[in-house]
Amino acid sequence: MSAAANPAALGRPFLLRSTPTPSSAASAQSPCLRCPRLTLGRRMEAVAPAAIADSHSEPERDLSASAVASEALGASVAPDFGVDVETKEPSVATILTSFENSFDAFGSMSTPLYQTATFKQPSATENGPYDYTRSGNPTRDVLQSLMAKLEKADQAFCFTSGMAALAAVTHLLKSGQEIVAGEDIYGGSDRLLSQVAPRNGIVVKRIDTTKISEVTSAIGPLTKLVWLESPTNPRQQITDIKKIAEIAHYHGALVLVDNSIMSPVLSHPLELGADIVMHSATKFIAGHSDLMAGILAVKGKSLSKEIAFLQNAEGSGLAPFDCWLCLRGIKTMALRVEKQQVKLFPYAITTYRVSTKFMGLCFVLGLLFNNPPSTHTHTQKKHPYVYVCIDLIFSIEEIEDHFIIVRLMLRRLLNS
């Protein structure tokens, strides 16, 4: 079939248009319809009266879906409506907009807010599915189920912040065991590993995770966790998650990946071999700057059971209202992330040119795109990706002189 006869081959949405018929003037005004079934209904309304009136003089028309679609498109070969659409993996945007409640008895389309600390039990000898919100809450369970589906995890857990989620992961280790982590990581993670974890007797090794040789040398028999960011924060370095996961698993260590920057829209580290994926849901997932939340997506039932125990024992589960806010914001995550990638690049270049020409500031921009398919960068990122790393180098006097301009420029950049 030629490209002209196959609209899908042109990379455009597959649309069926109603064809004007002499018996129905209204059908000539019919808009472009996206659904083949709706198109079939419109066509049947248009042709049925004529077919009945002329049934004695003309042969019966074929009103099957394929025949009507073929006539509407003017194609010699009709589209195949027998394709098993269930075999196609749904996109992140589809999951976000179609995910349904599994607990609401009244069929609410929007997840209800169960703002309660305790739940009434059926009887003194029978326990219901929920008893105390610290241990579980229906609103939280919907968000956790959604995140597990997005990250293709066995289970997901919502915490009061990203740091609370990461702290729970460090509690999987015992005194004397080791964590191998990147030297370029988020400041809060750096503080946790350098000042808090050692108090519990955990040894932390810091390396350049972009160099496989350093990773291989650092991992030993006492290493129980490899802590990765890809891209790293703030220098935006890309790590070969798949290769490092193979090395870590060979030595019996778990792999944690902080996926906050990429979000589930752009990367799925569990598919590359990671055991735990962490998100600061405060950022791209919630998207409205009105809540703090952290999420762990976990692979494996045994590991999921350990994280569930820690979440309950430490009382770090996300409150119902914050879960409800996050569920509201996450619906537009795919649209927001994709739009940010489109808008960020021109703003970054403009900011760079203005700052270097008129303000004497040094902006270091980390602009990352898909590399050729043979590289691990392409393996991790499913879509083109742009992120800006800004390094401001100037004196106190320059800050005072240009503070207002800098603030306006950064606000325009970050809000885009």
Residues classed as catalytic: 134, 186, 258, 283
The token pair at 40 is 């079939």
Taking every pair of C-alpha atoms in the chain, what is the biggest distance, in angstroms? 94
Sign, CA dihedral 238-243-246-248, equals negative
Closest to 316 in 3D by CA, of 161, 144, 173? 161
Length of the chain counted residue by residue: 416
136 and 128 in contact (C-beta within 8 Å)?
no
* Euclidean distance between CA atoms 90 and 149, whole angstroms: 11
**H-helix or E-strand containing 294?**
strand 294-298
Sign, CA dihedral 215-220-223-224, equals positive
Which three-class secondary structure string do you get for 209-260?
A: CCCHHHHHHHCCCCEEEEEEECCCCCCCCCCCHHHHHHHHHHCCCEEEEECC
Helix (H, G, I), strand (E, B) or coil at 384: coil
